[in-house]
Amino acid sequence: MSNIRVTYSGLIAFVIGITTVITGLVFILIVTRSLTPDEFGTWSLIGTMIGYFLISERIISFWTTRQVARNEEVGKTSILSSTTFSAGAIPLYVAVVFLLTQQNNADFEIMVFGLILIPVFFVSETLHGINLGHKPQATSYGLLGFELLKIPTALAFVYFLDLGVIGAIIALTIAYLLRIVIQLYFARKKIGGKSSFQALRRWLKLGWIPSYSNIAKFLKSTDVVVYTVITGSVLGLAYYAVGSTLAKIIHHSDNISKALYPKLIATGDYNHIQETFSLQMYFAIPLLGITVIFAKPAMFALNPLYIDVYIIAIILSFRMFFAEWNGFFGKILQGIDTVDVEQNPNFRKLLKSKIFLVFTIKNVHSGLQLGIVIIVLLILTSYGFSELELVTWWTIVSLSLEIPFVIFLWFYVKKFTNFSFPYTNIGKYIGVTLAFIGVFVVMSDTLIEYNISIYDFLPGVILQLLICIGLYLLVTFLIDKKTRLLFKSIIAELASKK
């Protein structure tokens, strides 16, 4: 739909995303300080397992977003289909969990209790797909409500009632219910029509395309399961999950380009691509710098037991940074493709589409990563490497495979669009990021003291963080015209709302 405002929706999504970084870190702080490393590893494994079953939901939300962006009424069909699919996933989840817990030390009963997350995950993702197609900022409002409720529920069920992983599952379920309510409010006009079996039949007929895309997600998360099978332990998953917690902060920069995908579907207008990429990098580059220099303090804050995991957090941060590039370029190629405008596109056209190309690239990438990770883990395990060392090499393999695919997708985007890489702006953002890293190195020994008490430790970390953020915003405002225009547009938007 042509009334989607890419920069406006992106900035709302980013601001809310960064706000939820704080709430997300508080939630993880409560969980990591309350659970043992093995319990936290089990918590991570539950999330991975549920992610497997969300693959079937993708058949619905993938086509829903594209059709809603073209003003087609498929909302009610999406919700009803998603609910049905989630019911079918529950017995399969129990069966897989039974087989998996025979191979590792995860608690079977706790793993089974995690199935209550399946229906709320399914419905939430479907509503996300509906809102993304017509009002992208609504997905951010749902996320904000979810993140804000996670903290009191985690305090109640994990910290005060001391229910462990079960408490974390209950807390997350309640928060997801609020997210569903908020997203339902914004999607209400899109789900008020009639349900259409014809639409569902079309999705199932073309379901092989989003299913094909989910091969990459399946393979990427399979390394988590493979690790537990090879080592017989979930301790390494705790290391990986804690490191990922910090790295995921960079993922919030992706919110800047959230509205670009439906905008391209609706209009095919390339004009927003370069501007959106430059804006996304304005936030992604300093976020990478922050995660790198604050990796050790962050791991200590989450739990002193994880302080040595900071190297893993740094490696995963670089991997996430380049993964954001891959995601952006893939989003462009899928957005400009019009193969599904036809009601029944033939198989040959679908195979030649840019949508299929992006999914193929992702599948090859994930397949290579899984294969190499398995080989590396088997070799290193036979030599008696520690779990910390195993996870470190696992993340190094993941990072090394991300970069070649960034280059490949970049050239493909240039081939089909007028995208021009903003070297000057990127250079400025990197330069200023290096400057605040230098300031951190000089001041960190004075401001940050590694006391066991979290109350003594956090004030110095927060002050150092504010100094780095303030320096970046100030210097980029002074030296970069685009940044000044961005600030002025934000102020103008706030004034008009007022």
Specify whether the CB–CB gap between 331 and 257 falls below 8 A.
Answer: yes
Q: Sorting pLDDT into bands at 50, 70 and 90, what band is 274?
A: confident
- Please state, in angstroms and rounded to a whole number, the distance separating the CA atoms of residues 490 and 15: 11
Q: Sorting pLDDT into bands at 50, 70 and 90, what band is 1?
A: very low
Side chain identity at residue 403, one-letter code: I
Specify whether the CB–CB gap between 136 and 181 falls below 8 A.
Answer: no
For residue range 343-383, list pLDDT tens digits in order.
677 778 888 888 888 889 999 999 999 999 999 999 999 99
Q: Which two tokens stand for residue 368?
A: 């290579």
The larger pLDDT score, comparing residue 214 to residue 358, is at 358
Task: Name the average pLDDT for the chain.
Answer: 86
The larger pLDDT score, comparing residue 219 to residue 475, is at 475
For the chain, what is the total number of helices (H) and then of strands (E)?
21, 0
Among 171, 47, 73, 166, which residue's Cα sits nearest to residue 113? 166
The larger pLDDT score, comparing residue 119 to residue 335, is at 119
Given a cut of 80, whether residue 199 has pLDDT beyond it is: yes
Residue 345: what pLDDT? 74
- Please state, in angstroms and rounded to a whole number, the distance separating the CA atoms of residues 469 and 217: 33
Residue 12: what pLDDT? 66
* Cα-based distances in Å from 439 to 248, 428, 434, 444, 470: 24, 17, 9, 8, 12
- Please state, in angstroms and rounded to a whole number, the distance separating the CA atoms of residues 224 and 229: 9
Q: Sorting pLDDT into bands at 50, 70 and 90, what band is 420?
A: confident
Angle 219-221-222 (CA atoms, 0-180°, nearest 5)?
Answer: 60
Side chain identity at residue 290, one-letter code: I
Q: Which two tokens stand for residue 272?
A: 């927003």
For residue range 326-341, list pLDDT tens digits in order.
999 988 888 888 777 7
> How many residues does this entry show for the chain?
498
Given a cut of 80, whether residue 467 has pLDDT beyond it is: yes
- Please state, in angstroms and rounded to a whole number, the distance separating the CA atoms of residues 197 and 203: 10
User: Who contacts 220 (Cβ-Cβ below 8 Å, separation ≥6)?
Assistant: 366, 369, 370
Residue 247: what pLDDT? 92
The larger pLDDT score, comparing residue 175 to residue 443, is at 175
Specify whether the CB–CB gap between 170 and 31 falls below 8 A.
Answer: no
Residue 46: what pLDDT? 92
Range in 71-75, 311-315, 390-394, 467-471 with the lowest mean pLDDT: 71-75
For residue range 471-498, list pLDDT tens digits in order.
998 999 899 888 888 777 767 655 665 4
Residue 4: what pLDDT? 52
Mean pLDDT of 298-325: 93
Q: Which two tokens stand for residue 206?
A: 């073309």
Angle 50-51-55 (CA atoms, 0-180°, nearest 5)?
Answer: 115
The larger pLDDT score, comparing residue 398 to residue 223, is at 398
Q: Sorting pLDDT into bands at 50, 70 and 90, what band is 102?
A: confident
Mean pLDDT of 161-166: 94
Q: Sorting pLDDT into bands at 50, 70 and 90, what band is 268?
A: low
* Cα-based distances in Å from 306 to 117, 198, 292: 27, 52, 16
- Please state, in angstroms and rounded to a whole number, the distance separating the CA atoms of residues 171 and 173: 6
Q: Where are the alpha helices (DSSP H) in 336-386?
A: 347-352, 354-382
Given a cut of 50, whether residue 2 has pLDDT beyond it is: no
Mean pLDDT of 88-95: 92
Side chain identity at residue 153, one-letter code: T
Query: What angle separates helix 354-382 from helix 208-231, to the nearest 10 degrees?
Result: 10
Instruction: Name the residue ranges covered by the structural domains of the chain.
Output: 6-421
Residue 380: what pLDDT? 95
Above pLDDT 70, what percent of the chain?
94
Q: Which pTM does this prediction carry?
A: 0.79
HSE-CB at 216 with a 13 A cutoff on CA atoms is 19
Q: Centre a 10 Å sphere on the Cβ of residue 471 and count the other Cβ atoms it contains.
A: 18
Given a cut of 90, whether residue 174 has pLDDT beyond it is: yes
Angle 52-16-167 (CA atoms, 0-180°, nearest 5)?
Answer: 50
Q: Which two tokens stand for residue 204?
A: 């199932």
